[in-house]
Amino acid sequence: MTVADVVTCSGSMIVVSNRLPFVLKRLEDGRLTRKASAGGLVTAVAPVVINGNGLWVGWPGIHLDDPNEPIPESEPGDITPTAGLKSDKVVAVRVDPNIFDSYYNGCCNGTFWPLFHSMPDRATFKSEEWKDYVTVNKQFAECTIQALKTLKKGKDTPQHEIPLIWVHDYQLMLAANWIRQTAEEEEMPCKLGFFLHIPFPPWDIFRLLPWGDEILQGMLNCDMVGFHITDYCLNFVDCCQRYLGCRVDRKNLLVEQGGRSVRVRPLPIGIPFERFVELAENAPKVFTGEHKIVLGVDRLDYTKGLVHRLLAFEMLLEKHPEHRGQVSMMQVAVPSRTDVKEYQELKENLEQLIGRINGKFTTPNWSPIRYIYGQVSQDELAGFYRDAFVGLVTPLRDGMNLVAKEFVACQINSPPGVLIVSPFAGAGETMHEALVCNPYEIAGAAEVIHRALTMPEDERILRMNYLRRREKVNDVNFWTKSFLSAMGSLFTPEDHDDVG
Ligand code: ADP
Ligand code: G6P
């Protein structure tokens, strides 16, 4: 990384997210320890927080009975991105376990997750859970104010030192309400930005939400609201106009609310591209090379289209029997939200379906589907991505989908493999050289997989070169910079020379 690559926020940054960038684990001797998250967001954002002496507000992943129990420091030798995040820079939000369950499993993942992914039939609307969502958002806001106070900035703070509060995702769409109100009352200057990591649905879906006006108002309490792609921005602007009667400017993506003009921006997230290239360069060989591998890597979530994908693979083997014995599908599914009924049912359905398809086609020397239910290490994952012939990314709906990007970053073999994406993922909107596959049309999807498996080498090279080039430039650091820049908080040495 060169000096020019280091992203710096001009004021201190406070990140507010449902999960802290590490989870706490209780050891057998009773001590607490940190387990770092390997995600790209944490890799990109943690250094900005640490270098700017900022703070991170979030849930620590376990319930702590003793409200005064301190957050542990990182272990000696820890080289993960959050190692330098000192415990006094972490505000762990401690929520009553029952309220947290109703907020997280109920309102966040039972209501907002399916509805925002345009799956209203899966959404439940329960006023007690909504009440708990409001309570938890308020608690996060209080912790954020506490964090802001530790920065000790008053009303005379120079513009370039004003702290930036960056609120993340659908779990915290109301938090800005109380943050803005208290910061104004107590004359603590701050800038407020929000980024939604999932789709923002069209008006006709959003209007099903009984509490839609409160959600929009919560988001509009920020100075800027970011989404992955322009479609989500336009959906949001449309909802603000139709639900709240706000004046809007679609061309410049502005919404007027309470005498303020809120900016709405498409900011497509990227991945730590170079890190994945390096992982792919060093990963051990994972497949024997006997069969071509069609790879799926996902959280086990109904939005990912796993059932449709398996049916498409089954149809491929029916319609193109030449692939039998030659091609295997490998699906890696990481357990997710296992307390939610929809996720438990999906796991059972998938296992049955895989059993049925394997039962139908398996021979003594070959099985059509290999299935891993669990987390795999980053090295192993990079090896899977590198050595797969086809990356199959076919969600029914997805905010962006980082797996598609990680796959192309790891395609360092020559000739490379082929990426297939769904047009219903943010990645499908931006990764133009991938093969596009509508996951709902099973027969069509089977033909797209066939096309990928039989694509000439020169076409594979051409497509993958373009895909890799784009993701290399638009990596996660670029995304962080774009967010800071849109907030007017990107540190540039020239500005600071002027100041002083
Ligand atoms: P979502 O945010 O909905 O889970 P994304 O595709 O955007 O979907 O991000 C998923 C992230 O989780 C990726 O960074 C991917 O590497 C990681 N991941 C997915 N499945 C696994 C797995 N089985 N083991 C380890 N990491 C995984
Ligand atoms: C998506 C959401 C994130 C969430 C992640 C994992 O990427 O946008 O906010 O953290 O899924 O889900 P979980 O419920 O385990 O946090």
Task: State pLDDT tens for residues 250-301.
Answer: 999 999 999 999 999 999 999 999 999 999 999 999 898 889 999 999 999 9
Which residues are identified as catalytic? 197, 398
Ligand 2: residues within 6 Å at CB? 19, 169, 197-198, 336-337
In this prediction, residue 159 carries a pLDDT of 86
Distance from Cα 341 to the centre of ligand 1, integer Å: 21
pLDDT at 499 over 50: no
Residue with CA at minimum distance from ligand 1 atom 9: 402
Distance from Cα 159 to the centre of ligand 2, integer Å: 33
377 lines ligand 1 (CB under 6 A): no
Distance from Cα 368 to the centre of ligand 2, integer Å: 30
Residue with CA at minimum distance from ligand 2 atom 14: 337
- Rounded CA-CA distance 300/37 in Å is 18
pLDDT at 448 over 80: yes
What pLDDT digit, counting tens, does each position of 151-196 carry?
988 888 898 899 999 999 999 999 999 999 999 999 999 999 999 9
- Mean pLDDT over all residues of the chain? 95
What pLDDT digit, counting tens, does each position of 410-425 carry?
999 999 999 999 999 9
User: Ligand 1 pocket check: which of 112, 306, 334 to mutate, most ligand atoms within 8 Å of Cβ?
Assistant: 334
Ligand nearest to the CA of 272: 1
381 lines ligand 1 (CB under 6 A): yes
Query: 167 and 176 in contact (C-beta within 8 Å)?
Result: yes
- The predicted model gives 235-264 an average pLDDT of 97
Confidence band of 495 (pLDDT split at 50, 70, 90):
low
- Which atom of ligand 2 has the smallest separation from the CA of 104? 14
